[in-house]
Amino acid sequence: MRPYVIIFSTMTVDGKIANSDGYSKLSCIDDFRLQHYLRSNSDGVMVGANTVINDDPSLTVRLVKGTSPYKIIVDSKLIVPLSSKIFQNPAKSIIITSNNLNKERYEKFEKIGVRIIKVDFNGVLDMVTALKNLYDIGIKRLMVEGGGHLNYSLLYNGLVDELWVTISPFAFGGGTSIFEKGILKEIKAEFYIKEIKNLCQNWVNIKYSILYPKKPLI
């Protein structure tokens, strides 16, 4: 068993979640409220290490009523700094990482109360096993807030159930894609529109259900 997984992302009209310098401030207030609503209705919220380093999110619920979920970082090399906002209150903090790092790297996080989940690492982390571990500790509904490499990894492995994407009225022309890996040689997933909502006049949120065909479509 694994959690029900929803990717939440805000991107430009040309499909970028950050420019080439890492700038990613694309949301409007309605988009932020929707983000916090989904956090409050999730058992955990997951981000990649680069998102923590570049954006330094707290991953808490502030703009709506509700309880803050588990904060989960996917970090194969344990490079996130201890000074990150996530660790200002390390309760309910989890790091998914490689099982082949030295003991001291794990211990510096465990000492402040962070739970470490170690999974196999053969160039990439075993996210199937990672999600099974999260389910076993009570995370049944998981929100994912990027970045692009994490989004791609989960989608490629058939681990995403919904995508909530907000399209902002901007274009970068280059930078990080919402699914940052390059072009798939085959279509791995089909996206079905569940709902379209206008936000802040010029922003549009689209909720998709995701299905994985038994055979590639192309």
User: Tens digits of per-residue pLDDT, 14-62?
Assistant: 999 999 888 899 999 999 999 999 999 999 999 999 999 999 999 999 9
Set out the domains of the chain in order of their start, with CATH numbers.
4-66+128-214 (3.40.430.10)
Q: What pLDDT score does 91 carry?
A: 83
β-sheet bridge partners, residue 190: 211
Residue 120 pLDDT level (bands cut at 50, 70, 90): confident
End-to-end Cα, the chain, rounded Å: 29
Q: How far apart are CA 199 and CA 181, in angstroms?
A: 29
Q: Percentage of residues in the chain with pLDDT exceeding 70?
A: 95
pTM of the predicted model as reported, rounded to 2 decimal places: 0.94
Q: How far apart are CA 54 and CA 43, in angstroms?
A: 24
What mean pLDDT value characterizes the chain?
93
β-sheet bridge partners, residue 167: 11, 204
Exposed e or buried b per residue across 24-39, where buried means at least 16 C-beta atoms within 10 angstroms of its C-beta:
bebbbebbbebbbbbb
Q: What pLDDT score does 100 carry?
A: 87
Q: Residues 199-212: what's their mean pLDDT?
A: 96
- List Cβ neighbours of 37 (8 Å cut-off, separation of 6 or more): 64, 66
> Among all chains, which residue has been given the structure tokens 């040689």?
185
178, 197 in Cβ contact below 8 A?
no
Which segments of 89-199 does DSSP mark as H helices, in order? Answer: 103-110, 127-136, 148-156
Q: Which of 58, 95, 59 is nearest to 77 (CA)?
A: 95
Q: Residues 5-14: what's their mean pLDDT?
A: 98
Q: Residues 67-94: what's their mean pLDDT?
A: 94
Q: Beta strands 44-48 and 93-98: pairing type? A: unpaired
Torsion sign over Cα 9, 53, 63, 170 = negative
pLDDT of 215 > 70? The answer is: no
